[in-house]
A and B are shown apart, each in its own frame.
Chain A
């Protein structure tokens, strides 16, 4: 008997191929997409109330975007060959095409939009700074110091266009990750047309929750008064997005249970045993139902400001945990059962290995380090003139 295996698994299936790092990767790209969508709420959909978080959301997206390829690199057997995905991309492979979606989104959407938004501040800081910081800002200006009102209007228009292109790009960024799983006919836990959409809405949920928490943290740290109207509006959009996300996931669940095809018996058993803690307790109960109740309560009743802040912090923290659990349940869950539907294996996370818990923790902390650096470099609330 093989330790950790119940029933029968094909001999090569016993060991999991996609580890904790592959759980981390859709989580991180999800935060990117979600943060960007929140930013676009103001820029394109004119939800003026969330304006104070616009720049913050862009910096959040960039922080996570820069870290996103790292779990993949650590996972690859030969990371030194990863350039091959750009040299000879296999057009039928969602993973290959995703490399270009990522590059497009980073270069043409995110970096360009941040540059356009911050340009006047960059030029100002290049002109007034000294020493190394002056050099950095001068480099960031890309050589142009024109911040006349006419130029700024053009920046605004182009920035608007970039955001408009950016919204479907952000959808693609995370929808593609969902498609990477959803298109695998060999795995019934993954194979569903709903997968890209579920991934997208859970990404938006996690991204909005992350920006909300970072906004509360940054205002507290910088001792700036928090804009409650902004906070309430973000919480409202978080609620809407979460409702759609939850509906989609329940739809998937109900559909599976009702149709009860060949895989159902095996998957059902897996959820009730190996995934009970991560799926039912962590994802559904703590990670969805409780935050949804807290957010719903704020739509139905008016609470005092201090209490609302506590509810938002709780709801958003639980949401982030719950969305992580969702990624875990998809990636790890999809490998815990045998494709023969006759057995199950176990996943043990090591600590100090290439794909272990320690690198995962460090990779999750890294975006926040980058975020702090970015906030210092490109302050979200210092303006040369009112926008």
Chain B
């Protein structure tokens, strides 16, 4: 019996090395694993908060209408009723936050109107579209069409 023990006892050594490694791993794991990982699923719940904290660039038109009721009324009567303010005026959350400090700059009118209204075969047939070079012959769009209510 004793002779047998002496002859296989050396196998315990690699086993101990493996167990020690496993032990160290488990200790490191408990120290390093993110807090509350797995609370909602296999992920770090802190990620949800991190993503939600991103600053907002587009205020949303409800914010615009709070101050700019007149323009909103004009718009509501025309074909641009469902086009949000920032769709043309760009991201304005900073302006809504501090109107004096951040005043918006309107983009180039011709490019702005053309992006939607330039005629293209892929656009729905019922959508108002023109070949702008023929339609306006170089005249600016807002010379005739008021943007908030473009109907002539």
Say if the two chains contact directly (CB < 8 Å).
yes
The contact string, 1 if C-beta is below 8 Å from chain A, for chain B 1-13, is 0011011111101
The residue of chain A having its C-beta at the shortest distance from the C-beta of B29 within the complex is: A87
The contact string, 1 if C-beta is below 8 Å from chain B, for chain A 65-89, is 0000000000000000001001110
Asked if B14 and A154 sit within 8 Å, CB to CB, the answer is: no
Asked if A146 and B33 sit within 8 Å, CB to CB, the answer is: no
Give the residue of B4, B13, B21 whose beta carbon is less than 8 angstroms from that of A143.
B13
Give the contacts of A196-251 with B (CB-CB under 8 A). Answer: none
Among A56-64, A107-115, A312-320, the one that faces the other chain is A107-115
Report which residue of B7, B21, B29, B32 has the largest number of chain A beta carbons within 10 angstroms of its beta carbon: B7
Give the residue of B10, B18, B25 whose beta carbon is less than 8 angstroms from that of A144.
B10
The residue of chain A having its C-beta at the shortest distance from the C-beta of B18 within the complex is: A107
CA distance A119 to B7 in the complex (A): 13
Asked if B7 and A142 sit within 8 Å, CB to CB, the answer is: no
Interface residue A253 (Cβ < 8 Å from any Cβ of B): no
Interface residue B42 (Cβ < 8 Å from any Cβ of A): yes
Asked if B17 and A142 sit within 8 Å, CB to CB, the answer is: yes
The residue of chain B having its C-beta at the shortest distance from the C-beta of A150 within the complex is: B7
Asked if A88 and B10 sit within 8 Å, CB to CB, the answer is: no
Q: What is the interface residue range for chain A against chain B?
A: 20 to 34
Give chain A residues whose Cβ lies under 8 Å from the Cβ of B14: 112, 115, 142
Give the residue of A115, A119, A146 whose beta carbon is less than 8 angstroms from that of B6.
A146
Give the residue of A87, A115, A154 whose beta carbon is less than 8 angstroms from that of B8.
A154
Asked if A83 and B32 sit within 8 Å, CB to CB, the answer is: yes
The contact string, 1 if C-beta is below 8 Å from chain A, for chain B 30-42, is 0011100110001
Give chain B residues whose Cβ lies under 8 Å from the Cβ of A112: 14
The residue of chain B having its C-beta at the shortest distance from the C-beta of A83 within the complex is: B32
Interface residue A148 (Cβ < 8 Å from any Cβ of B): yes
Interface residue A194 (Cβ < 8 Å from any Cβ of B): no
Asked if A88 and B18 sit within 8 Å, CB to CB, the answer is: no
Output the least CB separation between B30 and chain A (Å): 10
Asked if B13 and A87 sit within 8 Å, CB to CB, the answer is: no
Interface residue A151 (Cβ < 8 Å from any Cβ of B): yes
CA distance A143 to B17 in the complex (A): 12
Interface residue A136 (Cβ < 8 Å from any Cβ of B): no
Report which residue of B14, B37, B38 has the largest number of chain A beta carbons within 10 angstroms of its beta carbon: B14
Asked if A151 and B29 sit within 8 Å, CB to CB, the answer is: no
Given contacts A107-B21, A112-B14, A143-B13, contact A88 B7 (CB under 8 A): no
Give chain A residues whose Cβ lies under 8 Å from the Cβ of B13: 142-144
Interface residue A383 (Cβ < 8 Å from any Cβ of B): no
CA distance A143 to B16 in the complex (A): 12
CA distance A88 to B33 in the complex (A): 8
Output the least CB separation between A135 and chain B (Å): 17
Interface residue A357 (Cβ < 8 Å from any Cβ of B): no
Asked if B3 and A142 sit within 8 Å, CB to CB, the answer is: no
CA distance A349 to B51 in the complex (A): 35
The residue of chain A having its C-beta at the shortest distance from the C-beta of B34 within the complex is: A88
Interface residue A158 (Cβ < 8 Å from any Cβ of B): yes
The residue of chain A having its C-beta at the shortest distance from the C-beta of B30 within the complex is: A87
Asked if B32 and A154 sit within 8 Å, CB to CB, the answer is: no
The contact string, 1 if C-beta is below 8 Å from chain B, for chain A 142-166, is 1110101011001000100000000
Give chain B residues whose Cβ lies under 8 Å from the Cβ of A143: 13
CA distance A148 to B3 in the complex (A): 11
Asked if B9 and A108 sit within 8 Å, CB to CB, the answer is: no
Give chain B residues whose Cβ lies under 8 Å from the Cβ of A107: 18, 21
Give the residue of A91, A115, A148 whose beta carbon is less than 8 angstroms from that of B7.
A148
B: residues with CB less than 8 A from A are 3-4, 6-11, 13-14, 17-18, 21, 25, 29, 32-34, 37-38, 42
Q: List 28 A-B contacts (CB under 8 A).
A: A83-B32, A86-B25, A86-B29, A87-B29, A87-B32, A88-B33, A88-B34, A88-B42, A90-B42, A107-B21, A108-B18, A112-B14, A115-B14, A142-B10, A142-B14, A142-B17, A143-B13, A144-B10, A146-B6, A146-B7, A146-B9, A146-B10, A148-B7, A151-B6, A151-B7, A151-B10, A154-B11, A158-B11
A: residues with CB less than 8 A from B are 83, 86-88, 90-91, 107-108, 112, 115, 119, 142-144, 146, 148, 150-151, 154, 158
| 14 more CB-based (< 8 A) A-B contacts, given A86-B25, A151-B6, A151-B7 | A87-B29, A88-B34, A90-B42, A107-B21, A115-B14, A142-B13, A144-B9, A144-B13, A146-B6, A146-B10, A148-B6, A148-B7, A154-B7, A154-B11
